[in-house]
Amino acid sequence: MQLTLWTYEGPPHVGAMRVATAMTDVHYVLHAPQGDTYADLLFTMIERLPRRPPVTYTTFQARDLGGDTAELFKDAARQAMARFNPAAMLVGSSCTAELIQDDPGGLAQALQLTIPVVPLELPSYQRKENWGASETFYQLCHHLVHKPAADKPAKVRPTCNILGPSALGFRHRDDVKEITQLLNQLGVDVAVVAPLSASVADVQKLAEADFNVVLYPEIGLAAAQWLQRQFDQPYTKTVPLGSHATRDFIAEVCTLTGLPQPAQDPSNAHAHWYAKSVDSTYLTGKRVYIFGDATHVVAAARIASQEMGFEVVGLGTYSREFAREVRDCAKRYGVEALITDDYLEVETQINALQPELILGTQMERHIAKRQGIPCAVISAPVHVQDFPARYAPQMGFEGANVLFDTWVHPLMMGLEEHLIGMFREDFEFHAGAAPSHLGSTRPAAETARPPSSDTPVMATPTAIELPIPAASNQATWSTEAEKELGKIPFFVRGKARRNTERFAQDLGVATITVETLYDAKAHFSR
């Protein structure tokens, strides 16, 4: 077992906690030692939940290993039933408890509880968090979903379920709201969202909808595939991340439901104006590296290439279950996918590729900070700051606006810093210059005192740089060299003059010619 400072995913029982915490009346009894209860922090701190996750731990200690740990589990299950009165119970073991080989499923069955009990077999040393969430949601569907009635009443509008969003998901709540609004605009009613905000009764009626929308395949795909096999219930294949994918998603929904395509593009995207501006040329061809969960990586590569005009120089994922999909995606952009859960391997690849923008997780943000590369977080795992208080979806047309802002702003800050550096040597852009904002009357520090009556009034300088008399130990400029220097943009002309004079002084050149000017340029460009 490899121990690292950071991990992209926790053990699979954390994935089960994400499903249980997302739902309203499910309780998870976890056979685990006291040290495994750290997972509470993930929900109460990172996602800012006002309550503890619905999880009861057996919290056995070392001294209990010589006794009957099975009895500890049964006591915990009875107490959870009496205290929380859930509509269904999940039972399972943490990675540590897995080693003592108690059988939570069999033990819970022996208790003969009056509610459905869903046993979870989550191999902690073979699988990770997202798989654990997927397996938990699949098992809930397998145990709880009822076959729809044969004589169900006709519907005025088609209905769907939204599958995949969970607790501790990256912008999941906002995505659900955005896609629900979009589906309603198309004429589709959302029957159930699961597991996020769903009850046991909601899960039981999943099969009654006309189709399923899979927003996050890492969590919802296995359940959607089972519902299709069992009840012939189709599901969407397109994840509506980005403007193009959202339009494809609309087309797919209309095909599944028989609804007409919208006569007008329902897009509320506002980023297209930027493509018409002169500043957009600054972003064209920017080298971007992408890493995260499979859903967001595949979508981000398409957005970066087709909507932003970036060049994808590398991508990868920690989602091993979707390695094939990510590798297929990488082939479309002529790169090799990196499939790993070791952030040090990701850092090595970033160092080798030297991208101009990184789209990744909280780990890539730290890597980018060390390398001085702009970065935007696009995927879990995330810090507290990546659960914004504002409405900030990733999906749909409004999500496309959020993505544009999130990705472009780090690059534009780099442009601002570049321009500041270029203009710093200009006569109007130095520490002692008066502010240039309209309406400002504050004088510069050097000219704060009013001139006396005998002080000659100097004309306001213009953008044309006049020759500066050389010091006695400096080289002089020839007329041709001065003319050539005048062709350089004014905001970098001062720096070019100083570099050339320093170059000439180092070589002992008395007169700067055009050749000297270009020799200096070549020297300082190395």
| Residues marked as catalytic | 279
- 179 touches 215 (CB < 8 A): yes
- 244 touches 302 (CB < 8 A): yes
Burial class (CB in 10 A: 0-12, 13-18, 19+), 19: buried
- If you write DSSP's letter for every residue of 7-37 in order, what string do you get? -SS--HHHHHHHHHHHSSSEEEEEE-BGGGG
For the chain, the residue count is 526
Long-range pairs for 193-196: beta carbons < 8 A, 24 or more residues apart: 193/161, 193/162, 193/165, 194/23, 194/137, 194/161, 194/162, 194/163, 195/19, 195/22, 195/23, 195/137, 195/140, 195/165, 195/166, 195/219, 196/22, 196/23, 196/165, 196/166, 196/167, 196/169, 196/172
Give the Cα separation of 458 and 476 in Å (integer).
Answer: 26
Q: 3-class secondary structure for 226-243?
A: HHHHHHCCCECCCCCCCH
DSSP state of 452: P
- Give me the torsion for CA of 331, 282, 346, 337, rounded to 10°: 0
For 85-173, strand residue ranges (E) read 88-93, 117-119, 159-163
Q: Which of 353, 249, 237, 245 shows the shortest CA–CA distance to 301?
A: 245
Exposure of 261 in the CB half-sphere (CA atoms within 13 A) = 8
Q: Say which residues have a Cβ less than 8 Å from residue 185's Cβ, sequence separation at least 6.
A: 262, 266
- If you write DSSP's letter for every residue of 289-358 in order, what string do you get? EEEE-HHHHHHHHHIIIIIS--EEEEEEES-GGGHHHHHHHHHHTT---EE-S-HHHHHHHHHHH--SEE
